[in-house]
Structure 1
Amino acid sequence: MQIETDHKETDVEPHTPQIESESFSPDFENPGNFPRREANRIKREKLPGIWYLNPVARVRSPKDSEEFMRVVAKRQAEWFRHLTRQFKNGWREARNQESSRFQQAFEFDGIIILDGIVLPIMDWKLFRVDELRKKHTKSKTCTQVPF
């Protein structure tokens, strides 16, 4: 008599993805160089996961999560502290005068890379809020008519 058993591994508890985070010394002469080079490398090598880059940090996670966003917020604040120590609050004016949203993101706020798509961090945050709103709305409405 042969007994068949199914040994599927399932995660009973939610799994927090491993998040890698590195800090670097700031280059105040060309702050956007590091994020640009890294973004090009990540896209060229088709590296998986979600990435956050700013002039002093690189954060990577296999997937988007609240923990990833907490680490991103810490690294962004770290860069802002460097800027404030170096330029006082004048860096905020310089950021607002940048002609391109991407230039502003590479040099100041940071960028997100997901599946080869590069987004300014503020666009990503708006996208996440919009997605959460959609999920919340769907869970509240029981009778949705598909179109």
Structure 2
Amino acid sequence: MAFDLGGGKKRGPSPSMNVTPLVDVVLVLLIIFMVVTPLLTKQMWMTVPAKSDKPEEQPPPPPDALPPVVLTVDRAGVLRINRDEVPRDQVVARLQRMLNARPDKIVFFDAGDDVPYGAAMEVLDLARGGNLTVGVLPDKLAD
């Protein structure tokens, strides 16, 4: 606390803004918005089919379907195309050669969970640099 010890000039009243009305207005607006917000939600009712008890089966792939081309990288940085180890400098040429005979022209990319992010991105950029369409596998493919 500061005390006026009597020395110096007398100061006039210091101007200060009364914030009580401002706080009252803000609280009233807050209450209005809290009441109105639930009323603004839009609802759309629809009928959905009942869930069946038996699991949905995926149709088997056609017998003449080619297996997907999968480019993988492991923690040691070893690159594989469909489980065949490939040197880094031959990856793009080999992928392009494999995809020339395919109608889909898609390479699936998979990196192990223990592969460093930077190493995985280098391999992904390598495949994209060859103008290949690259899809990222979220899960392992069934053998």
Considering the TM-score relative to the shorter chain, is it more than 0.5?
no
Task: Report the TM-score, using the length of structure 2 for normalisation.
Answer: 0.28
Task: Report the TM-score, using the length of structure 1 for normalisation.
Answer: 0.27
Between Structure 1 and Structure 2, which shows a larger proportion of helix residues?
1
